[in-house]
Amino acid sequence: MLSSRHTLVAFMLLLSSSFVQAQQISGFSSRDLGKQLEAEKRLQDLPTPKGFEAHLKALTREPHVAGTPANDRVADYMAEAMRKAGMTVEKHPYDIYLPKGPGDIKIELVTPVRLPLNNKEYVLAEDPFSNHPDLDPGWNAFSGSGDATGEVVYANFGRKEDFEKLAEMGISVKGKIVIARYGGNFRGYKAKFAEAAGAAGLVIYTDPADNGYMKGLVYPEGPYFNESTIQRGSVLTLDYTGDPLTPFEPALPLDGDTKVERLDPKDVALHTIPVTPIPYGSAREIFSRMKGKPVPAGWQGGLPYTYRLEGGSSLTIRIKVDQPKEITRIHNVVGTLEGSQYPDEWIILGCHYDAWSFGATDPNSGTAMLLNLADALGALVKAGYRPKRTIKIAHWDAEEFGILGSTEWVEEFKDELSKNAIAYFNADGACTGLTFGGSASPSLKPLMIEATKAVEHPKENRTIYEHWLARTNTPEKGPNIGNLGGGSDHLPFYAHLGIPSLSAGMRGKSLYHSGYDNFHWYKTFSDPEFLSGATTAKVFGVMTLRLANANVLPLDIAQYGIDLEKHLTTAEKAIQSYHKGYSLEALKEQARDISAKATRYEEHLERKLDRAARQKTNWQPLNTAIIQLERCFIDPKGMAYGKWYQSLYASSDPYSGYASWMLPGFLYEASLESTKRLPEWEARYSKALEALNTQIGEVIRWTKR
Amino acid sequence: MLSSRHTLVAFMLLLSSSFVQAQQISGFSSRDLGKQLEAEKRLQDLPTPKGFEAHLKALTREPHVAGTPANDRVADYMAEAMRKAGMTVEKHPYDIYLPKGPGDIKIELVTPVRLPLNNKEYVLAEDPFSNHPDLDPGWNAFSGSGDATGEVVYANFGRKEDFEKLAEMGISVKGKIVIARYGGNFRGYKAKFAEAAGAAGLVIYTDPADNGYMKGLVYPEGPYFNESTIQRGSVLTLDYTGDPLTPFEPALPLDGDTKVERLDPKDVALHTIPVTPIPYGSAREIFSRMKGKPVPAGWQGGLPYTYRLEGGSSLTIRIKVDQPKEITRIHNVVGTLEGSQYPDEWIILGCHYDAWSFGATDPNSGTAMLLNLADALGALVKAGYRPKRTIKIAHWDAEEFGILGSTEWVEEFKDELSKNAIAYFNADGACTGLTFGGSASPSLKPLMIEATKAVEHPKENRTIYEHWLARTNTPEKGPNIGNLGGGSDHLPFYAHLGIPSLSAGMRGKSLYHSGYDNFHWYKTFSDPEFLSGATTAKVFGVMTLRLANANVLPLDIAQYGIDLEKHLTTAEKAIQSYHKGYSLEALKEQARDISAKATRYEEHLERKLDRAARQKTNWQPLNTAIIQLERCFIDPKGMAYGKWYQSLYASSDPYSGYASWMLPGFLYEASLESTKRLPEWEARYSKALEALNTQIGEVIRWTKR
């Protein structure tokens, strides 16, 4: 793919390695390429493991859940750090509907013995953080409040198919306490399906077969969940993200000038049953006492008992959750480095900063990396390399509760973003190991791949790209790069506004959402030398500088055609499985038209870049047209499962919350095995592809000048 | 396949079902078909669940290990039962080298605590057999005698690749006690590889992930291994089967007329290290105290700890086994129903009768079925349907110690068997559930398939064949029928003498080699209504009567060509993996010649059967020629891994002891990644295929008369 595109090949000696490597950089005229290569080389010398370590340590001193004073202290640290780096910093406050912390939680066996169950991590001598007084017990934000005692039903992962299987086996969960294991879907859906099936309460635990002794040595001896480790997390499942009370609108401060209409919480589809997480040491007390029929294949976990569907009448457990919620102030912290030439063209980098405990891996390894990069960009500006376009580094609040902070900001600055935003790069928990990976919207995939060719792996004596490529079985297709879905702060940018987005990082082990996710754990098991932070900052830095300084924005048009045709085939197959002979050939033909046009664009662009070496060129109209390409997928009618999801191209799977759905209009229809709305979707997709086609024509028109 | 062969299609109304079904029966002239159908119909009315149950109950009153008085009592019962059925019964005694029982076993932790480990099943209130005074503890026959104390190394399944992996990871087992789990290979190889690697002792346990609470409810609540259930078993691994002291020769009684030369036990490659099995309740005491590095992927079992490679210096265990061996009298019990017309053409049915405890599933569900069938055949004879050929029903002794009884008998009657034996049917543990399955040599596959079309499934309102076929994903290829390998008493018939063999039965759950394998367990978990015994007797009965009464023996010649070509391709691919471009095309051409000739044979045979309806025919020369077909694979030079394995066609895998090896000469060469002996093997296989081809010519010659 790369070789068919407009490229300028520059040979550059990477100082840190002993070989000369051909570097492909898209979108630069030969007149401007030299300075760019200088800037990139300088930038790559700046982020250091020491700098990353210092930020990470400072960010993760104490537990900092969204809405707490401790989280405000983190916000202040980041603001100060970015100011020092020379950025203009703004705090964007919102008043959103949030739990006031874990509230009152009781989880215990009632019969055959009265036995309270532990729901907080053990204090460990090795780990000074584990004794922090402000650590919360395990809890699920947006649990209902209630006090339920009942018999137990095990529901495996609590997926749609698990509850269906229970019903098929004649097991009712009505009035019972459901116990389900983490994994297989977003935890919020476990609560949604349990409540829909009539459960009185839900206990979620991490099974040792999924993360625990069955996987390897447990904390503190190894990185896996020990019998006290708990995954915290929100169970919010609405058909929009952001503040539950202000869909589509920013939850501006109550005391501000602009008054925003808020829903009554009673009118919002929040869960009503109590939900709480426990560790497997506590789940053992339940499973060891269950008396019913054994589970079907695939439901057995790693506790030393045959798992059973029901506990029987002799076993009753109580779950009480009293979790008051109220409108709470949160802050996004956004630093801006204004572009020297195109201040109204924005590249936005972001990561949330609120955490379930200390957040050493999730999210603040990403936060520390962004601060490390901010320091580097500041130094670069001082050295005379101010980027031509505006770079924003955003630290989002309350992502853990349901992507709240970023969504409110996106809703507040919808118009500016739609006009100005070139791309959004997400760095949530981005630096936890030495293995690079990423997902991206089509037009950003080549940018990510090219940037990894410019950065050396800190341990491997080869580039990040080479190390990445070595992990695929089909190297001829390039490295494995995912299709972006939901799960973090890119979602509002990508699925609500149609801003090309990516998520990337160097990953390793993580103690996901547990009380042990602290600096000691990070240093012991994630990255003892803090190499991933500095290296990821270089990859993000190179991607950013290329977008910021290119003559022509290096968003790849050809990739739209390629990916669209692939995803149309996938959707077609999904529909054919219940609707024989169904064809999306007409839309595929449109996708092929886009591919053909992309080839013409590349030829014209190459000529235009050649001419630009000799004559002054006004790039702005062309780039303005490029910025609008992805917006063609935005359709205000949204998805059938939620109007807020406005991108026809990408969404998160509304059943699991995790998986990426490409062409979600069709996929949702397929999930219902319905044909009813297919004509409507064909028309809406056709219109979007037509708009994209027209917009590419517009782009080509500007390359011809 | 069936439709291309010589068949007479008879329409017969199966009384037990409401549909008319086309029955294909090969090898009968229309003049004799009617009587055969009558005989089969009568036979099918005879075996009853009650009759089977009575035999099973009588056979499994007490534990009856080979060489014990209890086993002699079982022999007497069988002899008496067959005599009552009208058979001539002979006991064939042999004096073989056997352990005198479990001997003295000690297995205990020495440090960090002194802790004896349980090695006997719990006594259960539900199960009166579990308290039998004569039950042995868990033991491994042909363990070495010794007393070793040392640190522990975990070796996963103790396969060749597991010990190689340990070596690769730098873990030495020298002087250590190896703990390995059951599964993945024949337990004897665990001992062989452990000893070869320098281990001082070997403990074998059943992991709950393989058979225990991870699979389902445990005994007595369910059928799976509980924390005290132990798999017993022999660890004998010689390059021949049968008595360790008399390879190739029958171990005739020391006090008999014929004196047999015996090896000195010191010159036989018996294991020298102590080996003993333990249940997972005891293994837990070891695994919970291990301190070393965690195991690689795939080595983790179901005990609630991260499995580790080493126990470390703080954990030492002691294994002591004192297992004296001596020459011991065993008996095969063989009943004969002489054929009315061809007494020197034998069909042999067999199953061993010695057991590790009560033997309710393994082996005596097969024994009881054979006695049920003997009763039926006796009644059939009385009703005037004496079979034309001789039927022998054989009960083998000491199979559990290494296929000893049957091998000695085969060695004693080698000449008669080579001349007279048409086929051997094995019924080891054949009736433990309601799912039919089987493996067979090529020429017997169609016979088995056809017979299952004649027998109704006791629960399914359809034939055994239809129930069997419904379990394959490729029904167009017919039901799944295995290629026969090692593991039971068919081995000496098939791999030593080249007698077409099959093994079949209706299987379900089994508490393999445990102290709980008793009548209570059988009735609770295997087959509460004893239906599988009577039904399997019908299938074996129909197969037997067809072989016994057919004008032309229904051994399928075409199947040789089909299977040979398939196995040659498999062998070729195995060799090509290290020897590029290697071809067995010449042998495949010979296989195709055989297929072509088989078609001619079928045409000639059809005509001969047509003629026979009008004129008297002497079938004997033709059948004598057919009997010799499989013998063409016998090559006295045997295999490179053991001269006793004389069939070039089939063997057990000499590395796992379980898997079937087809064309073992080539497969062994491939396993060594060697090319050295390939020319020799090509020549030997070519000669065998040439001989088979010539013999088929001989068969055709007789069909032309």
The whole-angstrom separation of Cα B435 and Cα B437 is: 7
Provide the shortest C-alpha distance from residue A290 to chain B (in Å).
12
How many residues belong to chain A? 705
Q: What is the pLDDT of residue B613?
A: 80
Residues of B with CB under 8 A from a CB of A: 208, 213-218, 222, 224, 294, 300, 302-306
pLDDT the model gives residue B16: 35
Q: Beta-carbon neighbour count of residue A296 at 10 Å?
A: 15
Q: Which residue has the tokens 């090898």?
A: B27
Cα B476 to Cα A201, B418, B440, B466, B567: the distances in Å are: 50, 36, 19, 13, 20
Contact at CB, B214 and A300, closer than 8 angstroms = yes
Return the residue of A nearest to B300 by Cα: A214
Closest chain B residue to A280, measured at CA: B304
Q: What is the mean pLDDT of chain B?
A: 94
Give per-residue pLDDT as tens, A415-425.
Answer: 999 999 999 99
Query: Could you identify the residue written with the tokens 């009632």?
Result: A110
> Å from B217 to nearest chain A CA?
6
Q: Quick count: other Cβ atoms within 10 Å of Cβ B358?
A: 28
**pLDDT tens per residue across span A493-548:** 999 999 999 999 999 988 899 999 999 999 999 999 999 999 999 999 999 999 99
Residue reference for tokens 């079309």: B453
Whether residue A656 is predicted with pLDDT greater than 80 in this model: the reply is no
CA-based nearest residue in chain B for residue A213: B306
Contact flag A304-B302 (C-beta cutoff 8 Å):
yes
Query: Minimal Cα–Cα distance from A293 to chain B, Å?
Result: 9
Residue in the structure block whose two tokens are 């790369």 = A2
Interface-testing mutation among B290, B293, B306, B309, with chain A (most A C-beta atoms within 10 A) = B306
Q: What is the DSSP string of B270-305?
A: ---S-EEEE-HHHHHHHHTT--SPBPPTT---SSSS
Among partner residues B213, B224, B306, which is closest to A304 by beta-carbon distance? B213
The pLDDT, as a whole number, for residue A655 is: 82
Using a CB-CB distance cutoff of 8 angstroms, which residues of chain A are in contact with residue B222? Answer: 294, 306
CA-derived radius of gyration, chain A:
26
Contacts of A218 in chain B (CB under 8 A): 306
Residue type at position B455? V
Question: For position B616, what pLDDT does the model report?
Answer: 87
Helix (H) or strand (E) holding A568: helix A558-576
Q: Report how far residue B589's alpha carbon sits from residue B586's, in angstroms, rounded to the nearest whole number.
A: 5
Query: Which residue in B210, B213, B219, B288 has the most chain A C-beta atoms within 10 A of its own C-beta, making it the best mutation to test that interface?
Result: B213
d(CA A240, CA A261): 16
Sign of the torsion formed by the C-alpha atoms of A508, A509, A514 and A517: negative
pTM of the model: 0.87
User: Minimal Cα–Cα distance from B218 to chain A, Å?
Assistant: 8
With contacts defined as CB-CB under 8 Å, which chain A residues touch B304?
208, 213, 302-304
Whether residue B5 is predicted with pLDDT greater than 80 in this model: the reply is: no
Q: Which residues of A touch B294 (CB under 8 A)?
A: 216-217, 222
Q: Give me B470's structure tokens.
A: 């419904």
Taking CB atoms and an 8 Å cutoff, what residues of chain A touch B217?
294, 306
Instruction: Using an 8 Å CB-CB cutoff, list chain B residues near A294.
Output: 216-217, 222
* Closest residue of chain A to B214, computed from CA coordinates: A306
Tell me which chain B residues have a C-beta less than 8 angstroms from the C-beta of A215. Answer: 300, 306
- The distance of Cα A552 from the centroid of its chain, to the nearest Å, equals 28
CA atoms within 13 A on the CB side of A674: 14
The string of pLDDT tens digits covering residues A121-134 is 999 999 999 999 99
Residue B105 has phi, psi (to 5 degrees) of -120, 130
Q: What is the pLDDT of residue B6?
A: 33
pLDDT in tens, A202-258: 999 999 999 999 999 999 999 999 999 999 999 999 999 999 999 999 999 999 999
Residue type, B700: I
Q: How far apart are alpha carbons B157 and B166 in whole angstroms?
A: 12
Ranges of H-type helices in A18-147? 30-44, 49-59, 69-84
What does the alpha-carbon distance between residue A402 and residue A481 come to, in Å, rounded to a whole number?
Answer: 25
CB–CB contact A216 B306 (8 Å): yes
Average pLDDT over residues A84-101: 98
Question: What would the pLDDT profile of A303-348 be if each residue is shown by its tens digit?
Answer: 999 999 999 999 999 999 999 999 999 999 999 999 999 999 999 9
Among the partner-chain residues B216, B222, B306, the one whose CB lies closest to the CB of A213 is B306
Position B190: which residue type?
K
> What pLDDT band is residue A24 in, cutting at 50, 70 and 90?
low
Q: Which of A211, A214, A229 to mutate to test the interface with B (most CBs of B within 10 A)?
A: A214
Chain-chain contact of A302 with B302 (C-beta, under 8 angstroms): yes
Within 8 A of A208 by CB-CB distance, chain B residues are 304
Judging contacts by C-beta atoms under 8 Å, the chain A residues touching residue B301 are: none
**Cross-chain Cβ contact A216/B294 below 8 Å:** yes
Region of residue B321 (phi > 0: left; psi between -120 and 50: alpha; otherwise: beta): beta
What residues in A contact B309, CB-CB < 8 Å?
none
Cβ-nearest to A213 among B217, B224, B304: B304
Distance, in Å, from the CA atom of B105 to the CA atom of B627, rounded to the nearest integer, reads 49
Locate the chain A residue with the closest alpha carbon to B224: A306
pLDDT at A675 over 90: yes
C-alpha angle A476/A20/A11, rounded to 5°?
90
**Res. A482: pLDDT tops 90:** yes
Taking the C-alpha atoms of residue A440 and residue A554, their distance in angstroms, rounded to an integer, is: 14
- Mean pLDDT of the region B658-666: 91
pLDDT above 90: residue A616: no
A305·B213 Cβ contact <8 A = yes
Name the residue among A502, A582, A578 with its Cα closest to residue A536. A502
Q: Which domains can be identified in chain B, with CATH numbers?
A: 30-97+331-549 (3.40.630.10), 101-235+271-323 (3.50.30.30), 558-704 (1.20.930.40)
DSSP-based three-state secondary structure for B424: strand
Confidence of residue A704 (pLDDT cuts 50, 70, 90): confident
ipTM over 0.95: no
pLDDT score, position B18? 32
Provide the 10 A C-beta neighbour count for residue B416.
11
Size of chain B in residues:
705
Alpha carbons A438 and A445: distance in angstroms, whole number: 9
pLDDT of residue A288: 98
- Across the interface, whether the CB atoms of A224 and B306 are under 8 A apart is answered yes
Res. A14 pLDDT band, cuts 50 70 90:
very low
Residues of A with CB under 8 A from a CB of B: 208, 213-218, 222, 224, 294, 300, 302-306
pLDDT of B509: 85
Phi, psi of A502 (to 5 degrees): -145, 160
- A75 pLDDT exceeds 60? yes
Summarize pLDDT for A265-274 with one digit per residue, the tens: 999 999 999 9
Strands A342-352 and A389-396: parallel
Confidence category of residue A23, pLDDT binned at 50, 70, 90: low
Q: pLDDT (tens digit, 9 = 90+) per residue, B511-548?
A: 899 999 999 999 999 999 999 999 999 999 999 999 99
Number of inter-chain CB pairs under 8 A, A vs B: 38
Q: What is the mean pLDDT of residues B696-700?
A: 95
Q: Are strands B140-141 and B233-234 parallel, antiparallel or unpaired?
A: parallel
Give A303 to chain B, closest Cα distance, Å: 6
Cross-chain Cβ contact A208/B304 below 8 Å = yes
Alpha-carbon B203 to chain mean position? 25
Q: Which residue of A has its CA nearest to B288?
A: A213
Q: Count of alpha carbons within 13 Å of B556, Cβ hemisphere only? A: 28
**Rounded to 5 degrees, what are φ and ψ at A652?**
-85, 150
Residue of A207, A211, A306 to mutate, interface with B, max B Cβ within 10 Å: A306
Confidence of residue B4 (pLDDT cuts 50, 70, 90): very low
Please check the confidence at residue A400 and state whether its pLDDT lies above 90: yes
Q: In what order do the strands lie in the sheet with A435-440?
A: A88-99, A325-337, A389-396, A342-352, A421-426, A501-507, A435-440, A482-483
pLDDT of A98-110, one tens digit each? 999 999 999 999 9
Question: In angstroms, what separates the C-alpha of B356 from chain A's closest C-alpha?
Answer: 27
- From the list A217, A218, A306, the residue facing B216 with the nearest CB is A306
**Minimal Cα–Cα distance from B212 to chain A, Å?**
8
Nearest CA in chain B to A304: B304
Distance between A76 CA and the closest CA of chain B, angstroms:
43
